[in-house]
Amino acid sequence: QKEVEQDPGPLSVPEGAIVSLNCTYSNSAFQYFMWYRQYSRKGPELLMYTYSSGNKEDGRFTAQVDKSSKYISLFIRDSQPSDSATYLCAMSPRNTGFQKLVFGTGTRLLVSP
Amino acid sequence: DSGVTQTPKHLITATGQRVTLRCSPRSGDLSVYWYQQSLDQGLQFLIQYYNGEERAKGNILERFSAQQFPDLHSELNLSSLELGDSALYFCASSRSSGTSGRAYNEQFFGPGTRLTVL
């Protein structure tokens, strides 16, 4: 069983929809939680970072961490065709800080006009 | 553009061969990380160097090795290549070593090198 599980998709939504992307994990030591966006033939780029539990909002993006359920989410409001990409969750435990990120396999999102 | 450069973009080689992938970090970044991305395994951390020294190791095979040079660029050497080594290899860089602390040490990823082993 992988430490981080993520539905590969693809997830297809119409423009303007609210998108929910999720990851579950098994390692209770994970303290740092990140979401990366990866466009086709590009490297991942950081979208959101959250330390421990709680919510964080940045424009149309909201990240949520529920450590009791070992579940993290990324919500995208008013989705746009330019949001079409693969979204990767990543996390790491406190004792290794940000060195050894553990990634999910990614969810491919398609937003149609 | 993240500021991290990787060469070559594509590499096609045969089983048993050896290749070298190169990475130049963003200006001012001291840490370099190497990742392997395959369809079934996703993005996997291989190894980290900080200011020339190995700092963290992930699931890196013994056939793979890396180093970071005084000018901070890094090379990943892959030898005795197998079909299963075909993947995207990403380099990332960050300002600090990334050890514990709440201040996030963001990793900036390069565009990757696509390796195909035939």
Q: Give chain A positions within 8 Å (CB) of B104.
A: 32, 49, 51, 98
Centre a 10 Å sphere on the Cβ of residue A97 and count the other Cβ atoms it contains: 22
* Integer angstrom CA distances of residue A13 from A23, A107, B50: 19, 13, 42
Residue B37's φ and ψ, nearest 5 degrees, are -120, 115
How far is B87 from B39, CA to CA, in rounded Å? 8
The token duo for B115 is 């390796």
Spatial contact of B113 and B6, defined as CB atoms under 8 Å apart: yes
Which is higher by pLDDT, A14 or A98? Answer: A14
How far is A46 from B67, CA to CA, in rounded Å? 25
Q: What is the pLDDT of residues B36-90, one digit of tens each?
A: 999 878 899 999 999 999 998 998 999 999 999 999 999 999 999 999 999 999 9
In this prediction, residue B98 carries a pLDDT of 67
- For B93, the closest chain A residue by CA position comes to A99
Q: Say yes or no to pLDDT of A87 above 90.
A: yes
Q: Give chain B positions within 8 Å (CB) of A94.
A: 100
Q: Give chain B positions within 8 Å (CB) of A105.
A: 40-42
**pLDDT band at residue B100 using 50, 70 and 90 as cut-offs:** low
Contact flag A32-B104 (C-beta cutoff 8 Å): yes
Contact flag A103-B42 (C-beta cutoff 8 Å): yes
How far is B22 from B110, CA to CA, in rounded Å? 11
Q: What is the pLDDT of residues A8-60, one digit of tens each?
A: 889 999 999 999 999 999 999 898 899 999 999 899 999 998 888 889 999 99
Nearest to B101 among A42, A97, A106 (CB): A97
Q: Which of A35, A100, A43 is nearest to B110 (CA)?
A: A43
Residue where the block lists tokens 């200006």: B27
Contact flag B111-A41 (C-beta cutoff 8 Å): yes
Contact flag B45-A101 (C-beta cutoff 8 Å): yes
- For B37, the closest chain A residue by CA position comes to A105
Q: Measured between CA atoms, how close is B93 to chain A, in angstroms?
A: 11
- Taking the Cβ of residue B25 and every Cβ of chain A, the question of whether any pair is shorter than 8 Å is answered with no
How far is B114 from A11, CA to CA, in rounded Å? 25
Spatial contact of B116 and B12, defined as CB atoms under 8 Å apart: yes
* Integer angstrom CA distances of residue A30 from A15, A53, B19, B84: 34, 10, 35, 29
**pLDDT band at residue B25 using 50, 70 and 90 as cut-offs:** very high
Residue B17's φ and ψ, nearest 5 degrees, are -80, 175
Contact flag B102-A51 (C-beta cutoff 8 Å): yes
